[in-house]
Amino acid sequence: MDDVRKYLQSQREQFEADLFELLRIPSVSADPAFAGDVQRGAAWLADHLRSFGLPAEVIPTAGHPLVYAETPPVPGAPVALVYGHYDVQPPDPLDEWTSPAFEPTVRDGNVYARGATDDKGQMLTHVNSVQAWLETVGKLPLQVKLLIEGEEEVGSEHLEAFLAENKDKLACDCVVVSDTAQFAPGVPAITYGLRGITYFELKLTGPSQDLHSGVFGGSVANPAIALAKMLAGLIDADGRVTIPGFYDDVAPLTDAERAEFAALPFDEPKFAQQLGVDALDGEAGFTTLERRWARPTFDVNGLTSGYQGEGAKTVLPARASAKFSFRLVPNQDPAKIAAGLKQRLAELLPAGIKMDLREFHGAPGVVMPLDSPYLQAAARAIETGFDRRPVFIREGGSIPIVNTFAEALDADVLLLGWGQNDDNPHSPNEKFSLADFHRGIAASAALWHELAAIDN
C-alpha cells in the first residue's frame, strides 16, 4: 500500500487534469442535442481506462452507451462492482454560473463545472485508485468490475435491461457507488438508504386557442387555474400527499433510527440559511432529516402556462402543464403510486378541461443492512482516506439502479459519497472539493485492500 500511496501523491495534478478533460465534455443525457457529446464522454472514459492497461468496452444500448471494464479475477477474494455515471444534468440556467458550466475552473480549492461532483469527479476516484494499484503493484488484490453508464440522470432505463441480460458478467459480492455526499465537511458518511422516485408530466387543455380574458374570462375554465388547483389538491395542509393509498406501504421509521438521526450534528437554522429561506417546511410530525431521508414527498419540478413575455397580456391560456415527482421510501411501489395518482387527478379535474398524463422514470427506495462486512470494510477504508470514521446516514436523492443491483445481483451496495451538501448538483455553480477528490481516491485505494481481506 505504501507504493500506492506514493503514486497517488505523485499523480495529484495528473488526476485533476484528467478530471478537467472529462468535465469539458457536455454529456447531458436529457437533451438529444447533446447525444454526440454523451458518446464522446463514453469514448473518453474507455480510452482513459485503456491508457493504463484495462481493456474497456463501450457497450451501445437503445439509449446512451455503457462503459465496462474489469481487472483479472482473484480466486478466493470477493468481487467488487463499481457503478457510476458519466452523464450530467442540463446546465441551465446558464446565466447563473460564475464560470461556464463546461469550462472547469478552480476557486478556493473547488473545481466548478457541471458533473464535478455528480458524478464525474466522484466516479473517477475509483478509476484513479484502480490505475494506482495497476501502475504500482501491477494487479489488484480482488477483482474490480467497472460499469459506468450514460443515463443515470434520465432514469437508467436501458441499464435495467442490460443488467437482466448480463447477470453473470456483472456477478459480484458488493457494489461500490460514489454518487452521494458526506454528512458535512470533515464528516464523511456511508449512506445506507436512498429514496426512490416517480416522475410525471401533466398537460391540461381548455379552449381550442388562447382567448381574450376580458371577453371570455369567467365563462370557461382557465387551464392555469385548474392546474394550480389540481397540483395544490395533491397535498394537504399538513404536507401529506392526498393520493389514495399513498402511505399504505411506507416503511415507518423505527425509534432507534429516529434517535440516530437526532444524534447527528445537524444545525437546522444554518441549513435554512444556506438555502436562503427564512423557515423550513414539510410533513407535520417529522424532523428535517426525517423529511429529507425517510418520508415520501411531492414536488413540482416545472410549471408552464400563459404569457411569459415582458409586460402584461390579458389572456386566458388554452393550455397549462406541469412536471412533478414524488420521492418514495422503501416498500412504496412506483406503479401503485401512479395508479393512485390517476384516480386522484380524475377527482380533481374540473369540467371543461382535458388532461393528458405522461409517466417518466420510476424507481423504488432502498435501505441496506448495516451489519454487512463489506460496509464495515468500507468504513475502515474511509477512515484511511479521510482520517475520520464515517457516520451512517440516509439520503433523499435517488440512484434508480441501486435497488436492482441489490435484488438482481444479491450484492451489498456501498454508497460512499465524497461530495458535500452544498456542491450544487443539478444547480448552477456545481462544484467538487479537490481535497475530497484526493481523499476519495485514497479511500478507494484502501477499499480494495480492505475488501480483499474479507473471507470469501
Q: For residues 61 and 162, is the Cβ–Cβ distance under 8 A?
A: yes
285 phi-psi bin (left φ>0, alpha ψ -120 to 50, beta other): left
Candidate residues 16, 18, 70, 118; the one interacting with Zn ion per rule CB under 5 A: 118
Judged by beta carbon distances under 5 to 8 A according to partner kind, the member of Zn ion, ligand BES, none in contact with residue 66 is none
Stretch 106-135: interaction string toward ligand BES, x if CB under 6 A: ------------xx----------------
Stretch that binds Zn ion, among 27-35, 110-118, 214-222, 225-233 (CB under 5 A): 110-118
**Helical residues (DSSP H) of 242-330, grouped into ranges:** 255-263, 268-275, 288-293
Dihedral angle sign, alpha carbons of residues 342, 250, 265, 443: negative
Residue 425: CB minimum distance to Zn ion, A:
5
Q: Looking at 16, 18, 70, 87, which residue is catalytic?
A: 87
Stretch 171-210: interaction string toward ligand BES, x if CB under 6 A: --------xxx------------x--x-------------
Q: Looking at 16, 37, 149, 152, which residue is catalytic?
A: 152
Of residues 7 and 86, the one with the C-beta less far from ligand BES: 86
Stretch 147-166: interaction string toward ligand BES, x if CB under 6 A: -----xx-x-----------
Bridge partners of 59? 66
Dihedral angle sign, alpha carbons of residues 162, 165, 169, 172: positive
Q: What whole-number distance in Å separates Cα of residue 403 and Cα of residue 194?
A: 9
Q: What whole-number distance in Å separates Cα of residue 415 and Cα of residue 175?
A: 8
Stretch 421-440: interaction string toward ligand BES, x if CB under 6 A: ----x---------------
Show Cβ contacts of residue 355 under 8 Å, excluding neighbours closer than 6 positions: 202, 203, 204, 205, 345, 349
DSSP letter at 274? H
Decide if residue 70 touches ligand BES (CB under 6 A).
no
Q: How many residues does the chain have?
A: 456
Q: What whole-number distance in Å separates Cα of residue 268 and Cα of residue 278?
A: 11
Specify whether 152 is catalytic. Answer: yes
For residue 312, what is its C-alpha cell? 402584461
Specify whether 70 is catalytic. Answer: no
Stretch that binds Zn ion, among 66-74, 114-122, 274-282, 381-389 (CB under 5 A): 114-122
Residue with grid cell 416517480, as numbered in its chain:
198
Judged by beta carbon distances under 5 to 8 A according to partner kind, the member of ligand BES, Zn ion, none in contact with residue 398 is ligand BES
Question: Which sequence positions are flagged as catalytic?
Answer: 87, 152
Residues that bind ligand BES (CB under 6 A): 118-119, 152-153, 155, 179-181, 194, 197, 361, 395, 397-400, 425
Residues that bind Zn ion (CB under 5 A): 118
